[in-house]
């Protein structure tokens, strides 16, 4: 029974959208429509979680011995709270190592998603948008470098998130988080990579 584990924060739990519109669930439906079974999707994520909070939640969680696919998206709350980049680098590296172990020590079965850029949202209207954008890029440069070094798949969704500056339909009603439409665009970018992972033998 093919199983996926999605680790993250509000972007993975789908703050602001219905549970069936979260991107992991949309991805599951898209794969089923393509004839690719993904029978189980487990999500360990929560709004506001930082890398250290995700780590603590993983410590308390029960996992399968192995997942066919593990996805990791974490870091926006580290940036929001002003946590140091070097702390993020160390904690993200640890989380990625754990993700790889949960994927049966197979880096090719792990996907890291980049951190979306919330500077373009109405929520950031009274904030330093340029500084936020720069910091998001700095955090993403770290998670991409760590991902490349580990040999996992890396999917950039930050450019999609920035389309919200010109398209309000890409944001949920809270004016901060992605809408189901934006998550659908993420799924379009993820689909071929995930399909290859799930259909190729180890």
Answering whether pTM is above 0.95, one says yes
Q: By C-alpha distance, which of 93, 102, 101, 100 is closest to 74?
A: 93
**Which single residue is written with the structure tokens 């959208």?**
17
How many domains does the chain contain in total?
Answer: 1
DSSP E strand stretches across 31-116: 40-45, 69-73, 110-113
- Name 7's bridge partners: 44, 72
* Six token digits for residue 158: 């930050």
CATH at residue 39: 3.40.50.1110
| Tens digits of residue pLDDT in 100-126 | 999 999 999 999 999 999 999 999 988
| Tens digits of residue pLDDT in 49-94 | 999 999 999 999 999 999 999 999 999 999 999 999 999 999 999 9
Say if strands 110-113 and 69-73 run parallel, antiparallel, or are unpaired.
Answer: parallel
* Six token digits for residue 8: 């993250």
Q: What is the DSSP letter of 15?
A: T
Instruction: Give residue 127's domain range.
Output: 3-199
């Amino acid at each position: 029974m093919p199983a996926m584990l999605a680790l993250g924060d509000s972007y993975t739990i789908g703050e602001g959208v219905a549970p069936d519109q979260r991107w992991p669930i949309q991805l599951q439906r898209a794969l089923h429509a393509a004839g690719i079974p993904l029978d189980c999707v487990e999500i360990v994520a929560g709004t506001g979680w930082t890398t250290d909070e995700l780590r603590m939640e993983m410590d308390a969680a029960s996992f399968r011995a192995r997942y066919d696919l593990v996805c990791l998206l974490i870091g926006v709350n580290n940036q929001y709270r002003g946590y140091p980049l070097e702390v993020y680098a160390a904690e993200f590296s640890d989380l990625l190592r754990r993700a790889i172990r949960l994927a049966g020590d197979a880096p090719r079965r792990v996907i890291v998603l980049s951190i979306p850029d919330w500077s373009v949202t109405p929520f950031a209207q009274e904030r330093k948008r340029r500084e936020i954008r720069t910091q998001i890029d700095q955090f993403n440069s770290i998670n991409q470098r760590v991902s490349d070094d580990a040999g996992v798949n890396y999917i950039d969704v930050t450019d999609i998130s920035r389309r919200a500056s010109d398209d309000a339909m890409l944001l949920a009603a809270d004016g901060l988080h992605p809408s189901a439409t934006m998550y659908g665009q993420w799924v379009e970018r993820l689909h071929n990579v995930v399909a290859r992972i799930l259909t190729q033998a180890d």
